[in-house]
Structure 1
Amino acid sequence: MWQDIKILNAAANALIGILLLALLMSGIWWVIQRPMFTLTAIRIEAVDKGNLRHVNALTIRNAAIPKIKGNFFTSNLDLVRSAFETVPWVRKASVQREWPNKLIVVLEEHEVLGTWGDEGRLISAKGDVFTANLAEAEEDADLIEFVGPQGSEKEVLARYFDFKKWFAVINLEPDAVQYSNRYAWSLKLSNGMKVELGRMQDESSLKKRVDQLLAVYPQLLTSLRDSIESVDMRYPNGLALKSSKSSLGLKSKLK
C-alpha cells in the first residue's frame, strides 16, 4: 500500500482537505463570536404597524429577555419567538434578524372578549384562552362571561356570535354564555333575563328555540315589563317563565 503513490497522494489530499475545512470552520466560529455580533438591541413592533396596549418594556424584560441566548448568528429564532409568546397578552410573535446585532420582534396582542370559567382566565375574540391581568382586561371592554368544558372554547365563541346576531332583533345581547358538561346551552341577556335553551339536537334546534322566544317576547314584555327573570325554552311546544312579580313559574304554550 505504502508503495502505491496514487493512494498516498489521495490520502494526503484528503488529510489536507480535512485540515483546511477545520481551519475554515474555526475561522468562521472565530468571526461569529466577535463582539460586533453581540445582540445590542431588540426592536419591538405591533402587527400591522399598530400600537401595543398591554405589552410594555417591563414585562418584556421580565418574561422574555432572560430566555434569549446567543448572538446575531447563534440565537435560535424559534426559541426567541417562544420566549416572547410567554409574555402576558401576546398571542403570536414573529422574529427576524437585522444586521449586524439586532432582532426585530413583531407582536400580536390578544383582543379580549370575556372571562373563561371561574379560574381568572380570559378568552379572546379569536377563541384563545389566556391568562393576564383582569383589571387591564376590564379597561378594554365589558367582559362577557363564558363557561364551557375544556376544549369547547371555539364552539362556545361561535354560539355567542350566533346569539348576539339573533337577539339583536329585540335590542338585546348576551352578557353570559354557558355550555354545560351535559352539553346544554344557557345565556344571560343584557336586560338580566336568563334563557335556558337546552341541548342542540341539530344545527337548527337552537335557532328554532330562539325564534320561538323572539315571537312571543313583545307580548311578554307588554305584560310583565322588566320583571322577567328567566325563560326556559326546553319544552317542545311551550315555555316556562319566571317573573319577579310572582313566586311561581308559569308555563305557556307556543302557537
Structure 2
Amino acid sequence: MWNNVRQLNLAANALYALLALVLLAASGYWLTQRPAFALRVISIDGDTEHINTPTVRAGVVGRLKGNFFTVDLDAARQQFEQMPWVRRASVRRVWPNALAITLEEYKPLGTWGSDQLVSVDGELFTANQGELEQTLPAFDGPNGTAKEVVARYVDFKKWLAPLGAEPDEVTLSPRYAWTVKLSNGTQIEYGRERNPTTLAERSKRLTAAWTAVTGRWGKDIEYADLRYPNGFAIRAAGMRFIGDAGKAAK
C-alpha cells in the first residue's frame, strides 16, 4: 500500500473528509449551545378561555428542557395537554429562541358523575368546575358510555321540547335504563332502550298527552313513568294518574 500512490491518496482523502465531518459536528454542537438559542419567548394563543397564560408559563415552561435546537417538541406538547381544560396542543419552533404554542380547549357540555366534566364531543376531562360561568346539565352512566349519553341528551332535548322544559339531568343506570330530570322539576323514567325507536316513541306518547294531563292535574308534574307498553303513569300533587294502564316494562 505504501508504494501505491493511488491508494495513499484515497486514504488521505478519506482522513481529510472524516476530519472535516468531525470539525463540522463540533462546530455545530458549539453553535447550538450558544446562549442566543436559549428559549426566551413562549407565545400562547388559540382557544384559551379557561386557561391562565401566566399559570401555563409557570407550570409548564419551567419543565421544558433544551434550547431552540434540542427541545423535544413532542414532550412539550404532552406537557401542555396534561393541563386542565387543554384538549389538544401544537408546538412549533420560531427562530431563533422561541416556541409558539397553540391550544384547543375542551368545550364543556355538562358535569359527569361527582368530579368530572364531559365535552360536547362526549369526552371526559377533569377541570375546576368553579371556573364554569353557568350551571351545566348533569350526566352519568357506566364506564365508556359518555358519547352515548351526550347523544341521547341531544335527542331528549329535541323530543321533550313541546313540554317547554329542557333536560337538567340525564342518567344511564348500570342496567342501561334511562332517567331524565327536566328543568321544570319533572323526573321521567324511560327504562331500557329495547330498540332504536323505543325512547322516541315513549317521548311522543308523553308530549302528545301533556296538554290534557296538565289541564287536569296542573303543571306541577313531579314524576312520569313511561315504561308501560301502551301508556304512562304520572304523579302530581300527591295524586297518581295512569294513561292506558298496563304493567310497567322495566
Q: How does 1:67-106 map to 2 (within 5 A)?
A: 67-106=63-102
Aligned twin of 1:251: 242
1:40 aligned partner, one-letter code: R
Tell me the TM-score normalized by structure 1: 0.89
1:125 aligns with 2:116: no
Retained in 2: the 8 A contact 1:227–1:245? no
Q: How does 1:190-209 map to 2 (within 5 A)?
A: 190-209=183-202
Q: Once the 2 structures are TM-superposed, how far is the Cα of residue 126 of structure 1 from its aligned partner?
A: 2.2
CA distance in 2, matches of 1:17, 1:244: 95
SS at match of 1:240: strand
Q: Which sits farther off after the overlay, 13-22 or 1-10? A: 1-10
Q: Share of identical aligned residues, percent?
A: 46
SS at match of 1:185: strand
Q: Once the 2 structures are TM-superposed, how far is the Cα of residue 131 of structure 1 from its aligned partner?
A: 1.3
Change (3 A) 1:201 1:13: farther
Aligned twin of 2:142: 149
1:34 aligned partner, one-letter code: R
Long gaps (5+) in structure 2: 246-250
Retained in 1: the 8 A contact 2:44–2:53? no
Question: Could you say what the CA RMSD is over the residues aligned between the two structures, in angstroms?
Answer: 1.8
CA deviation profile, 1:125-178 (whole Å, cap 9, x unmatched):
2222111111112x2x22100001111111111111111111122221100000
Aligned twin of 1:238: 231
Out of 213, 216, 226, the residue aligned to residue 220 of structure 1 is 213
1:160 aligns with 2:153: yes
CA deviation profile, 1:213-247 (whole Å, cap 9, x unmatched):
1111111111222331111111111212222323x
Q: How does 1:169-184 map to 2 (within 5 A)?
A: 169-184=162-177
Retained in 2: the 8 A contact 1:177–1:186? yes
Aligned twin of 1:39: 39
CA distance in 1, matches of 2:119, 2:159: 21
Matched positions, count: 245
CA distance in 1, matches of 2:76, 2:34: 21
Q: Once the 2 structures are TM-superposed, how far is the Cα of residue 15 of structure 1 from its aligned partner?
A: 3.1
2:123 aligned partner, one-letter code: D
SS at match of 1:203: coil
